Chains A and B, each alone.
Chain A
Amino acid sequence: MGVTSLLLLPSLLMIFVFLGLPLVVIFMQSLQDNVLLQFTPPGIENYKYLLTRPYYFDVLVRTLRLSLLTTFFAIPLGYLAAMAMPVLKGRLANMAIMALTFPILAGPLVVILGWMALLPDSGPLFGPLVRAGLIRPPRILGSETAIVISQIQFVLPFAILTLYTALRQIPHALYEAAASNGAGGLQSFLHVTLPLSLPGVLSTTIIVFSLAASSFIAPHYLGGASDLTLTTLITNFVLGTFNSPLAATSSILLLVMMLAAMFMFVKLFGRFIRP
């Protein structure tokens, strides 16, 4: 084992002890019987139960839908912003970096509390328009729309910063070569920027999707009580009915969903990424 491998050891040990082992425990827990489902453990009855009940299947589909929507909007928005970043100079560039990192510094809870104040029908965003009779009460708060808007806002800094790093790695000489061959802005983008930034887009997509799928605060505070996602469902099982096996099963389903999505993204982008 080389010195380089030894450097990896502490991190790998940390991941194994504090991530791997808990996951094994959760998986074993998901195979146990519980107050709702009596069977001889270990068994997969909890999985069968959650996947065959329309209510719980809807929770899974909703989580997938909200995460995909968040990713769908966040990636192009992030890409545009990341492209604009190098153009900014001096104080403006610093301010842009500050503005992008502020939501990360403030933390999601603070940001969500802001949304809770902003989004009610009588709030500062819609209140004046509703009172003036210009729009009907939009009832955004407590809807999937509120969750998606909030999640996009939350993941956007991560998307921009990751994409910005990817775009900066494209050698400038390639743009000069494209220009010397008569390529315009659009051609340069289509034949240089876009293909060479696709690995960055892939990793950003995976990060954004994972952040959205594992988001708890946005669906909890901005979503509807009858529109649970997998994260809020897990909370209900843990804190509401003390049903650890079903909470563990929901957690594993969330993990499987994220891994499946990751696999799908790799397949999708892999076709376009040049070796």
Chain B
Amino acid sequence: MGKLMTGISRRKTLKLAGSAAALASLNLRSALAQPAIRKGSVLTISTWGGVTQDSIKANIEPEFTKLTGATLAYDIGGVGARYNKLLAQRNNPVVDVFYGTDENTATGLKAGIMTPVSRKKVPLIADLAPWALTVKTGTNSETVASVPVTLGAYVIGFNPQFIKEPVTAWADLWRPEFAGKLAFAAPVHSAMPQLIIMAAELAGGSATNIDPGFKKLGELRPSKLTVFWTDWAPMIKNGDVSIATELAYYMEGMKDDKYPIEYIIPKEKGIASLTNLGLVTGSKNVELAEAYMNLCLEPAIQKVITTKTYYAPTSSKVTLTDAEAARCPCGGKIDQVRFFDPEMLATVRPIWTERLNTEVLPQWKTR
């Protein structure tokens, strides 16, 4: 839910489009995995709109068409709506590749609507950073559960104008000065179970002793619950909100758009948010889907996506300048990001969301 994409700015869209020209001159290694030319074929990908779709259109689609002769069709929307559509179409899917979180992969595999991806057919999986393969079911020497293509970090952002003491930790969200000034993840946010675990640990509990987390969250005083950065962005300007939990790459985009925003990765670590490409069970274009996934792992593609949208690459073969690395959770900053078990999150999410709704939300009385 946290990645319902809308355009950040016209300027950014133009930047994304411009990067396609740079890619055109690159000799992509995906040619090694080239399937038979499929001119006239269409690969349907289910993804977020806005920046994500713009980025795919500008940076990946031209190379994909050059490589395979096929074109892309898009099924656009929030991940929840798209996932439900996939469930409804399970006997005759129209989608071939699903953009989602690693938790979506875990639930998708369990529901039988996604299927593991062959390492042999997507050879660039071999270049993936070890931390990227978080879904254990379906991942073995032959296959991976899904193909992780980008990494984001869920962290703390703030308007420096309204901050007196430095913010360094998740624990700072409970500081009295932020009561009624905090934009916090809504119960349905993709990062919510991880935040409950963080809260539990701050209160002496853990993922397996979660009650202290709910109690601790009940003491928080958010003024706005959010699923997407636009929910709170206007409020950070006027001071209705002075601090917020959000994905770092959105806040980098906000900086480009001149929002008064800074962010830190909390000392207890930020929360990893992996974008994974799932292979839809029953896809009639498996070969094309594999070619697409391989293309998305090309270092040249990964680098362009990183520099334009501030996600971190998942391929270990990507080289970034210091300036580029400074704007994503890349390099040494990977150690400051915590990876949770997506299969565990998928199991607990419904029950924990229910507990948040019935136990914590009545205490918050937020807007």
Contacts and interface: CB of A to CB of B under 8 A. Distances in A.
Interface in B317-367: 349-351, 353-354, 357-358, 361-362, 364-367
Contacts of B224: 142, 225
B365 A226 contact: yes
B144 interface: no
Contacts of B354: 36, 241
B366 A225 contact: yes
A53 interface: yes
A24 B81 CA distance: 22
Interface in A234-274: 236, 238-243
* Candidate in A120, A142, A242 with the most chain B CB atoms within 10 angstroms: A242
Interface in B206-257: 224-226, 234-235, 237-238, 240
Interface residues of B, number: 32
Contacts of B109: none
A45 interface: no
A226 B364 contact: yes
B295 interface: no
Contacts of A236: 187-188, 357
A242 B87 CA distance: 10
Contacts of A223: 367
A141 B80 CA distance: 26
Contacts of A36: 350-351, 354
Contacts of B238: 120-122
Contacts of A240: 1, 80, 187-188, 353
Contacts of B81: 239
A241 B361 contact: no
Contact-size category for A? 20 to 34
B78 interface: yes
A16 B218 CA distance: 47
A240 B107 CA distance: 13
A226 B225 contact: yes
B27 interface: no
Contact of B357 (A55, A142, A143, A238): A55
A224 interface: yes
B240 A53 contact: no
Given A142-B367, A240-B80, 10 more contacts: A36-B350, A120-B235, A139-B367, A224-B366, A225-B224, A226-B364, A236-B187, A239-B188, A240-B1, A243-B350
Q: What are the 9 tightest A-B residue pairs by CB atom distance, in nearest-first order? A: A142-B367, A240-B188, A239-B80, A225-B225, A122-B238, A224-B367, A35-B350, A55-B358, A226-B361
25 contacts: A54-B358, A55-B361, A55-B362, A120-B240, A121-B238, A122-B237, A142-B224, A142-B366, A224-B366, A224-B367, A225-B186, A225-B225, A225-B226, A225-B361, A225-B366, A226-B225, A226-B366, A238-B84, A239-B1, A239-B78, A239-B80, A240-B187, A240-B353, A241-B349, A242-B84
